Amino acid sequence: MASVIGGEAAFIGSLTELIELNWSAVDALRAALSRMSRPGDKSRLASFLSDHERHLEELAALAHELGDPPVESAVRPKLKSKALTNGMAGERAILEAMRHYEEDSCAAYERMISSREGLSDRARDFLRQSLAVERRHREWFAEQLDARQGLLLLPL
């Protein structure tokens, strides 16, 4: 098992947080895909969905290496975003909700990387690569929001 600041329990707790955030993003992206009208947006969101699904596999493998594989039902939160669940928001609101998911993911990866000594090289590399992916996602959502400044929220 890895030697980490805060002990194994704290490290597994941080991994669980990352798994929860990635499940939230997966669920949100699935909901968003059905509500976006632009083919380019759908393609990009599908790519982001694939990234988050890959992150889930890697995070589960990392937790398994530490002897505590997560149980999906225990860490899969309910989708909380009203913009993605009630169908009463326009694409701009959906993009804003997704940007927030990516901000939360970036913050969690940054905390995990900066506060953990003793991470294996593989774990640290994975976390850094995942953070870079999440930053690209966040940047894309921010760019789309800037490009769509002033769009109204309309029922779907």
Confidence of residue 8 (pLDDT cuts 50, 70, 90): low
* pTM for the model: 0.81
Residue-level pLDDT at 109: 92
Task: Name the nearest CA neighbour of 123 among 64, 74, 50, 49.
Answer: 64
**Burial profile 73-95: b = 16 or more Cβ within 10 angstroms, e = fewer:** eebbeebebebbeeeebbbbbbb
> What is the residue extent of each domain of the chain?
7-147
CA distance readout (Å), 141 to 84, 96, 111, 117, 148:
15, 7, 22, 32, 11
Task: Report the alpha-carbon angle 43-24-47, nearest 5.
Answer: 20
**Chain centroid to CA 24: how far?**
7
**Structure tokens belonging to residue 33:** 């895909």
Question: Taking 90 as the threshold, does the pLDDT of residue 102 lie above it?
Answer: yes
Is the CATH number 3.40.50.720 carried by domain 7-147? no
Predicted pLDDT at 150:
63
